[in-house]
Structure 1
Amino acid sequence: MGYPGTTLDKVNQDAQTFAQWKVDMLKLDGCYSLLADTCNLWRNYDDIQDSWRSVLSILDWFVDHQDILQPVAGPGHWNDPDMLLIGNFGLSFDQAQAQMALWTVLAAPLFMSTDLRAMSARNMDILQNPLMIKINQDPLGIQGRRILKEKSYIEVYMRPLVGYSYALVFFSRRTDMPYHYRSSLAQLNFTGSGLHEAQNVYTGDVISGLRTETNFTVVINPSGVVMWYLYPVRNLGSPQQ
């Protein structure tokens, strides 16, 4: 019988058949240079496995190649770091939150690979987080990147969003204890005199009155994240509305 799927000499015929069946999506492996004109997304690097080690391996590859990968991503053409493992067995709760946040800031397609019938309520909350999905589906479609790697094993990722807003992910690679990370928008290379607010994507807490020079502290669990939706309130040089 062989494997299900299609072959190069039957691609057009099979595509028409799938279209008639109103299939939402086709996944083709091994497209190589043929993909650019016809595919909306492409898998990069190794297949993901149900382990934190596998997630980190894929993340490391994306970071190592972010200067190449970021420019080719955008509406209609996406880099795909593979499936979300949330709800399976290989990730802790903090690691599940981390994968969702990091995949979102990388503008990754959010495909789940889990048994929805057996998923816990808190894992379902991760996957159905409205603000997270809003950020992932941002119309600009810009892929985020790592902007800072600290000696303390804390990394910061940033993704530009519509309305001069940003997604910020503070990610801990530590394995010992929660870490109090102190920084400011200026240290993250933000400029200008604007006033910002930051909403914690997971807790909903809002930090108001953030200027570029304002110091803040986030407490990040080992192998976990704190994710902010950062948005401007007003420009300090402009009159209040």
Structure 2
Amino acid sequence: MQVDYSLLAKICNLWRNYDDIQDSWTSVLSILDWFVAHQDILQPVAGPGHWNDPDMLLIGNFGLSFEQARAQMALWTVLAAPLFMSTDLRTISAQNVDILQNPLMIKINQDPLGIQGRRILKEKSLIEVFLRPLINDAFALVFFSRRTDMPYRFHSSLARLNITCSGLYEAQDVYTGAVISGLQPETIFTVIVNPSGVVMWYLYPIKKPGISQQ
């Protein structure tokens, strides 16, 4: 990569990094793989006012399944990507509108810190985990499955994901709204990830009982 990203960050608000996206899951994966392969270079140069751009969201077109559409939205959000839609609003389904207008997803994407997330774990089971630090000691976590056979039960803990701050956490499932309470760094949890799909958490610390929340 012969690109002066420091210069780009000074003079550009965003820049396309890779090939034009096509209306296919293969294209989405190729862009994601490229971003992961170069994340050590790309992550530090992203921030408020200057963004890496992996190209358009395909949600509402023809090439992605429901699970794949939810996955692209979550992965682009954790990568702090500019969320540009590329679809016909006259024919988009209500299901796809819900994906694109998810309030918590948009809140995470627009987080004031502007830190780009990165892949932190790649399992032999074909499950990958992406993490993005957020304001107020919160995180966005994306559990992503590259499997094509069946839903997979992924077991982990926050400590294994290098989230080791003391105290309790809660996680809200970004798509279902379900809340998982009482998470400590060593707590073992399970997420069920559909093939070519994601589970996305908004993870945030909570006050211990008896401590004033001023």
For the criterion TM > 0.5, the same-fold answer is yes
d(CA) in 2 for partners of 1:83, 1:225: 19
Residue of structure 2 equivalent to 1:221: 194
Q: CA deviation at 1:32?
A: 8.0
Letter matched to residue 25 of structure 2: W
Residue of structure 2 equivalent to 1:55: 28
Alpha-carbon distance change, 43 to 114 in structure 1, aligned in 2, over 3 angstroms = same
SS of structure 2 residue aligned to 1:190? coil
Letter matched to residue 147 of structure 1: I
RMSD: 1.5
Residue of structure 2 equivalent to 1:135: 108
Q: Is the 8 A contact 2:9 2:45 kept in 1?
A: no
Q: CA deviation at 1:38?
A: 2.4
d(CA) in 1 for partners of 2:110, 2:181: 25
Q: CA deviation at 1:189?
A: 1.2
Letter matched to residue 96 of structure 1: A
SS of structure 1 residue aligned to 2:105? helix
TM normalised by structure 1 equals 0.84
d(CA) in 2 for partners of 1:73, 1:36: 8
d(CA) in 2 for partners of 1:82, 1:99: 11
- The answer to whether 1:202 aligns with 2:175 is yes
Q: Is the 8 A contact 1:193 1:235 kept in 2?
A: no
Letter matched to residue 183 of structure 1: S
For structure 2, the 5+ residue unaligned runs are none
- The answer to whether 1:76 aligns with 2:39 is no
The match for 1:240 among 205, 211, 214 is 211
Residue of structure 2 equivalent to 1:113: 86
Letter matched to residue 220 of structure 1: V
d(CA) in 2 for partners of 1:105, 1:206: 19
Residue of structure 2 equivalent to 1:10: none
The match for 2:117 among 139, 144, 152 is 144
TM normalised by structure 2 equals 0.94
Residue of structure 2 equivalent to 1:189: 162
Query: Structure with the greater relative contact order (CA < 8 A, sep ≥ 6): 1 or 2?
Result: 2
Letter matched to residue 211 of structure 2: Q
SS of structure 1 residue aligned to 2:207? strand
- The answer to whether 1:157 aligns with 2:130 is yes
Q: CA deviation at 1:151?
A: 0.6
Q: CA deviation at 1:36?
A: 4.3
- The answer to whether 1:104 aligns with 2:77 is yes
For structure 1, the 5+ residue unaligned runs are 1-30
Q: Is the 8 A contact 1:69 1:79 kept in 2?
A: yes
After superposing the two structures, state which structure 1 stretch, 160-169 or 32-41, moved more. Answer: 32-41
SS of structure 1 residue aligned to 2:44? helix
d(CA) in 2 for partners of 1:128, 1:43: 23
Q: Is the 8 A contact 2:170 2:204 kept in 1?
A: yes
- Quick one: percent identity of the two aligned structures? 80
d(CA) in 1 for partners of 2:118, 2:51: 14
d(CA) in 1 for partners of 2:4, 2:91: 36
The match for 2:11 among 38, 57, 61 is 38
> What count of residue pairs does the alignment treat as equivalent?
209
